[in-house]
Amino acid sequence: MKGEIITIGNELISGRVLDLNAWYAAGRLTASGLKVTRVTTVGDDPEKLSSAIRDAVEQSQFVIITGGLGATEDDITNEIAAKTLNRPLCLDREMLEQIKEYVQLRGMRMSASLEKMARMPQEAKPLNPKGNVCGFSLVENKVRLYFLPGVPDQMRYLLDEFVLPEILTHCKTLPVLRHRLLKLYGLSEPKIAEVLKKLPEKPDKIILGFYPHFPENHVTISLRGEDESTVIKELDKMEKEIRELLGSYIFATGTQSMEAVVGELLRRKGLSISVAESCTGGLIGNLLTDVPGSSDYFLGGAVVYSNTAKVELLDVSPATIEAHGAVSDQTVREMSGGVRVKFGSAIGVGVTGIAGPEGGTSEKPVGTVHVGLATEKEIFSRKYRFWGTRKQVKLNTAMMALDWVRRYLNGNPFLPGV
Amino acid sequence: MKGEIITIGNELISGRVLDLNAWYAAGRLTASGLKVTRVTTVGDDPEKLSSAIRDAVEQSQFVIITGGLGATEDDITNEIAAKTLNRPLCLDREMLEQIKEYVQLRGMRMSASLEKMARMPQEAKPLNPKGNVCGFSLVENKVRLYFLPGVPDQMRYLLDEFVLPEILTHCKTLPVLRHRLLKLYGLSEPKIAEVLKKLPEKPDKIILGFYPHFPENHVTISLRGEDESTVIKELDKMEKEIRELLGSYIFATGTQSMEAVVGELLRRKGLSISVAESCTGGLIGNLLTDVPGSSDYFLGGAVVYSNTAKVELLDVSPATIEAHGAVSDQTVREMSGGVRVKFGSAIGVGVTGIAGPEGGTSEKPVGTVHVGLATEKEIFSRKYRFWGTRKQVKLNTAMMALDWVRRYLNGNPFLPGV
């Protein structure tokens, strides 16, 4: 089945905002075996929008339209769609009730501009009748049109939960397209490509994709075929061969995050953790607590930005800081050990470093980072050197600390330092 | 002058690659005072490309076309452009020499597919005759068409160095386009729209844009005009009127973040800060330390996820937690006061709440959050209720805590709680 995407917004047409909606929708539709033939972006401009809808209806079997469904005066999609398709705008009672409920729950007042959101072209159906995200579908000359909000989270939710499943029920024989996504940390993209040259010859139809996703690197394995079980078998074989070459650099598959992998390991082993953060400023704790249920194993952390805080909160010895500096193996060892004792956790992790852009010296340049990990029996520490902006150094440091926990719990060696 | 952008490539239409070329070109053209009315993306598909070119020529004064100029078999732009415009493909001697030179320099051999790159529609002119980046322009019915490579570096180079200057020489009086971006926190989009209805009648040419950017809301003011100083004056006037209506909800303009605004206020007043985080897990510290130089005012924080940690690290009284629970005004007051004393900072900020998805009760549902702020003289606290995913509740809580600091330092009242 062939389809088109129309994205709407002055912020897109003027280059102020990158059009992630078109990219996301195109990727999801393609991955489902559907073919996207055109993406058209127009501003909040009645004439251009109208002609884009008319064109798409003439040439496609489905059309995804995002943006302009909101309550403000620049939201014109409902009105223009109705005009273009020669349908009256009708008030959808169900949608109106939904908006009212949403508004009431948040202690807001109903208004004419909010009511506008419930006016849709005749015979349009709300996509998500029980939810509180607006969006609707309608059929014109056998072409299925889906109108979604421009807010990326809402667009993605409706596309994945309602639009894709509905389009797919109207496809008779769809080729099977399956992907694997492997997430790696600690190997650069050229290095990964070099290692994978050692792969045994792969079937022509298997496509490997390489996507840097700072500070991770993602490798995709894609295969299209007639028969699902054959496709899965070939993907399994290829994944196994890649795993043999890349080993413990692969930390997750699919949508799993590093912090979820670490959380799962801690939970499985019944271990608790606490963190001592200097240059990351709280990022490690923030990542760990992004995982639902993390309070089962994450006891807390100390963000010790100043030297006084390191001494006061974690019992780091002033003599250690004096002799070796706050950014040193010795300090990070005392931070990791100190936070472990303070919180009474099985594992204590510590990081200290220079995130930049200021604060570097020739001996300890920006990006110098020390990571430590303490258990009841031993303390490990190592020095790393990262490159990039302040936020990139922080993120790489946090990922390295989490990777240490993963490798420690899996019995893998830590990544080599400098 | 009005124009369009056409981007070409299967990698774009399938969502495998994000279309940075369209975004870059749209931004550069808009910033130069030109108006982009539509962006069309098609695959390496003769029919779709041909109709996109035909459409654009009918409706625009200039067209930027990127992609498909290379030597591989999926590069069809030159051929399709010639067919669509009913012109023969002619070998450009100058371009051919250039390609030969490039090839020789790199020790490659000339081939038919490389020669293909020098065949352009009749009367087309190479954009960059002395360089080694292919691209050409032609004029059809007074419409200027520019064909650029899809490789982002090359596209940007030709656009900035050759295309933009040439288009601009054909503009007689170029309109000036200026934007303002106002960032708001604590008012929903419909509320903002409602409040702005009270604006005195605005000049027709001023365009207001509304962009939710969770948990912030952004309002843009755009104006196009003949003369820069008049445009700026009118924007100033409009901004002032909007500020009168939205007051302290506006926390920043342009690219400034909440954490940068808070940091700037702390620095200006010579005050230091520390944070006590429960449900945010370190996010507030992480945001504050994203700002370069934040070590000047940020002393650190305690991530006290467990009750024991609240007691041990921040001297919260176990009796308080026992009597009112960890998620309560009483606890957050002791957390804020405790962290302030522990770190010796001028201001102590605390948050405690239920981020979800588990852990809610009928009395304290998911999204219940208490914020506290302590100074040497007094302690404030208030209860809020947020909606959304775990990450959204965390982010909203962190933003609210930062907004408290901003409002406290500016002498504005805190946002009303529940």
Asked whether residue B389 falls in the same domain as residue B270, the answer is yes
Indicate whether B335 belongs to any domain.
Answer: yes
What mean pLDDT is predicted for residues B343-372?
96
Per-residue pLDDT at B254: 87
CATH of the domain at A302: 3.90.950.20
Asked whether residue B19 falls in the same domain as residue B164, the answer is yes
Q: Which B positions 210-249 lie with beta carbon below 8 A of chain A?
A: 210-212, 214, 220, 222
Q: Which B positions 386-405 lie with beta carbon below 8 A of chain A?
A: 387, 390-391, 394
Scanning the structure block, which residue is given the tokens 């365009």?
A: B207
- Contact between A152 and A21 under an 8 Å Cβ cutoff? The reply is yes
What mean pLDDT is predicted for residues A382-406?
96
Indicate whether B193 belongs to any domain.
Answer: yes
Asked whether residue B77 falls in the same domain as residue B183, the answer is no
For A139, the domain range is 2-169
Scanning the structure block, which residue is given the tokens 């208490």?
A: B370
CB contact under 8 A, B282 and A301: yes
A269 or B69: which leads in pLDDT: A269
At B194-222, the pLDDT tens digits run 899 899 887 778 888 888 888 999 998 98
Tokens of A267: 């939970």
Return phi, psi of residue B334, to 5°: -70, -30
Q: Which of A206-210, B25-29, B83-87 has the lowest mean pLDDT?
A: A206-210
Scanning the structure block, which residue is given the tokens 């079937």?
A: A203
Beta strands B379-385 and B368-374, pairing class? antiparallel
Is the pLDDT at B128 greater than 90, yes or no? no
Return d(Cα B201, Cα B355) in angstroms, integer: 43
Per-residue pLDDT at B321: 97
Asked whether residue B162 falls in the same domain as residue B196, the answer is no
Residues in chain B: 418
Q: Which of A199-213, A379-393, A395-409, B301-315 has the lowest mean pLDDT?
A: A199-213
Domain boundary among B224, B253, B282: B253
Chain A environment of B352 (Cβ under 8 Å): none
Return d(Cα A282, Cα A286) in angstroms, integer: 6
Per-residue pLDDT at A397: 98
Q: Would you list the DSSP string of B168-199?
A: HHT-SSPPEEEEEEEEEESS-HHHHHHHHTTS
Q: Give A374's pLDDT tier (boundaries 50, 70, 90).
A: very high
Return d(Cα A284, Cα A302) in angstroms, integer: 11
What mean pLDDT is predicted for residues B40-60?
95
Q: Which residues pair with A144 in a beta bridge?
A: A62, A139
Return phi, psi of residue B20, to 5°: -75, -20
Is the pLDDT at A204 greater than 90, yes or no? no
B194 and A CB contact within 8 Å = yes
Return d(Cα A263, Cα A30) in angstroms, integer: 33
Indicate whether A417 belongs to any domain.
Answer: no
Q: Which B positions 125-164 lie with beta carbon below 8 A of chain A?
A: none
Closest residue of B to A293, CA-based?
Answer: B358
Minimal CA separation from B244 to chain A, in Å:
20
CB contact under 8 A, A286 and B282: yes
**Share above pLDDT 90 across residues of chain A, in percent, rounded to a whole number:** 70
Per-residue pLDDT at B173: 61
Q: Would you list the DSSP string of B378-401?
A: -EEEEEEE--S-HHHHHHHHHHHH
Return phi, psi of residue B247, to 5°: 40, -125
Selected residue of B40, B41, B208 to mutate for chain A interface (largest A Cβ count, 10 A): B41
Domain count, chain A: 3
What mean pLDDT is predicted for residues B258-270?
98
Asked whether residue B303 falls in the same domain as residue B163, the answer is no
Asked whether residue B145 falls in the same domain as residue B23, the answer is yes
- Distance of CA B45 to CAs A398, A412, B80, B260, B285, Å? 45, 49, 9, 47, 51
Asked whether residue B154 falls in the same domain as residue B12, the answer is yes
B375 or A116: which leads in pLDDT: B375
Indicate whether B357 belongs to any domain.
Answer: yes
Closest residue of A to B385, CA-based?
Answer: A106
Domain boundary among B120, B152, B169: B169
Return d(Cα A336, Cα A404) in angstroms, integer: 13
Beta strands B298-304 and A298-304, pairing class? antiparallel
Per-residue pLDDT at B201: 80
Closest CA to A351 of B335, B286, B294: B286
Domain boundary among B205, B227, B253: B253
Asked whether residue B292 falls in the same domain as residue B405, the answer is yes
Closest residue of B to A114, CA-based?
Answer: B190
Return d(Cα A361, Cα A370) in angstroms, integer: 15
Return d(Cα A303, Cα B415) in angstroms, integer: 27
Q: Would you list the DSSP string of A87-137?
A: --EEE-HHHHHHHHHHHHHTT----HHHHHTTEEETT-EES-TTSS---EE
**Share above pLDDT 90 across residues of chain B, in percent, rounded to a whole number:** 70
Chain A environment of B190 (Cβ under 8 Å): 71-72, 103, 108, 111, 113-114
Q: Which residues contact B58 (CB under 8 A, 6 or more apart)?
A: none
Averaged pLDDT score across all residues of chain A:
92
- Contact between A248 and A412 under an 8 Å Cβ cutoff? The reply is yes
CATH of the domain at B241: 3.30.70.2860
Q: Give A233's pLDDT tier (boundaries 50, 70, 90).
A: very high
CB contact under 8 A, A283 and B288: no
**pTM (2 d.p.):** 0.78
Q: Which of A91-105, B225-239, B262-276 has the lowest mean pLDDT?
A: A91-105
CATH of the domain at A127: 3.40.980.10
Q: Which residues contact B157 (CB under 8 A, 6 or more apart)?
A: B133
At B277-292, the pLDDT tens digits run 999 999 999 999 999 9
Minimal CA separation from A389 to chain B, in Å:
10
At B10-19, the pLDDT tens digits run 889 988 888 9
The interface pTM score, or ipTM, of the predicted complex is: 0.78
CB contact under 8 A, A342 and B313: yes
Per-residue pLDDT at B227: 86
Return phi, psi of residue A290, to 5°: -70, -15
Indicate whether A183 belongs to any domain.
Answer: yes
Closest residue of B to A302, CA-based?
Answer: B302
Asked whether residue A154 falls in the same domain as residue A10, the answer is yes
User: Reduced to 3 states, what is the DSSP secondary structure of residue A344?
Assistant: coil
Asked whether residue A200 falls in the same domain as residue A141, the answer is no
Chain B environment of A103 (Cβ under 8 Å): 190
Chain B environment of A301 (Cβ under 8 Å): 282, 302-303
Closest CA to B150 of B284, B330, B11, B312: B11
Per-residue pLDDT at A172: 66
Chain B environment of A290 (Cβ under 8 Å): 281, 390-391, 394
Is the pLDDT at B106 greater than 70, yes or no? no
Asked whether residue A232 falls in the same domain as residue A289, the answer is no
At A115-145, the pLDDT tens digits run 888 999 999 999 986 776 789 999 999 999 9
Indicate whether B55 belongs to any domain.
Answer: yes
Asked whether residue A107 falls in the same domain as residue A47, the answer is yes
Indicate whether B417 belongs to any domain.
Answer: no
A66 and B CB contact within 8 Å = no
